[in-house]
Amino acid sequence: MAKMTFGGVEEDVVTRTEFPLKKAQEVLSKETIAVIGYGVQGPGQALNLRDNGFNVIVGQRKPSASWDKAVADGFVPGETLFELEEACEKGTLIMFLLSDAGQISLWPTVKKHLTAGKSLYFSHGFGITYKDQTGIVPPADVDVFLVAPKGSGTSLRRLFVEGKGLNSSFAVFQDATGKAREKAIALGIGVGSGYLFETTFQKEVYSDLTGERGVLMGGIAGMMEAQYNLLRSKGHSPSEAFNETVEELTQSLIVLIGEKGMDWMYANCSTTAQRGALDWKNKFRDAVAPVFADLYESVATGNEAKITIEANRQSDYRVKLEAELAEIRNSEMWQAGTAVRSLRPERA
């Protein structure tokens, strides 16, 4: 492992230098990797593994749009594409990439095919960490580990095609063969990780649920709405409010942050912007700190897991979810966004 320093803290990380793709291929050379689920993470991980030379099959319900997508992506029914239970039977390393709710539903089927010496792979610590609610308790004679790419499956695939990588965490929950950690790292390299950092199943799900509900999705969406609504209430046009709230962030400033960090973004803005941002940064930090504390507590106590599981158990959950998403999509703010995006000039 490589020694890296992050903010003054030294960590062990795994890069492609000390664990090259060839080594990953050797570690998993005798495995039949069964990707169970072809929805959010499944396509990106399955395609990257296949393109990297691993023996990959896909398990998916038939008929379904995801089955059709797998076929369109080159997986062949009866050869590399099977229905869920058959894929579980054939796989020696089962990548359990269904949604958290889907994992709960299919777990009895998967467990039946987890014979001694097989491996069970996750990309999220949810099912194992909240086992009292999910019922997911693996047999003692199988390896259980995870690799969690820090982004969507779409981003994982896009960066892979561009010759880049998406950073991932990895963790071992159960090492029955003595090779679980090596297999986890090999899978991490195989799916196209930029570098890998070690964690636990519990820490992965705590940080992931906090991040999704906080800065990455819930928090940024809430802040955007608050600022847009304020500007509109003060007489600013939809175009002005959206550009100052979303467009400038997504098309300019986030790109700069991604390139070289927050200070780089500040350095590329006016001195007026810099001064104001620095003056107000701590006010926002202190204002939302109690919200983050409440959020983390809700995650750690299992309350967020309970809310998610109970919501997914409702027969009309998908209908209700679409209604909530439609409310966002049809709001003035995001209708303005559709119009603004349509006016972005195409590069000649």
Q: Is 286 helix (H, G, I), strand (E, B) or coil?
A: helix
CA distance 103 to 308: 13
DSSP-assigned letter for residue 194: E
Catalytic residue from among 50, 118, 124, 183: 124
Please tell me the total number of residues recorded for the chain in this structure: 348
Q: Is 122 helix (H, G, I), strand (E, B) or coil?
A: strand
Q: Is 124 a catalytic residue?
A: yes
Q: Which value, to the nearest 10 degrees, does the dihedral of the CA atoms of residues 66, 70, 73, 77 take? A: -150
Spatial strand order in the sheet of 193-198:
2-6, 9-15, 193-198, 166-174, 143-149, 119-122, 93-96, 33-36, 56-59, 81-82
Of 40, 32, 39, give the one whose Cα is nearest residue 57: 32
Buried b (16+ CB within 10 A) or exposed e, 234-268: eebebeebbbebbbeeeeebeebeeeeeeeebbee
CA distance 250 to 248: 6
Of 135, 115, 120, 132, give the one whose Cα is nearest residue 175: 120
Asked if 70 and 58 count as a contact pair (C-beta separation under 8 A), the reply is yes
Catalytic residues: 124
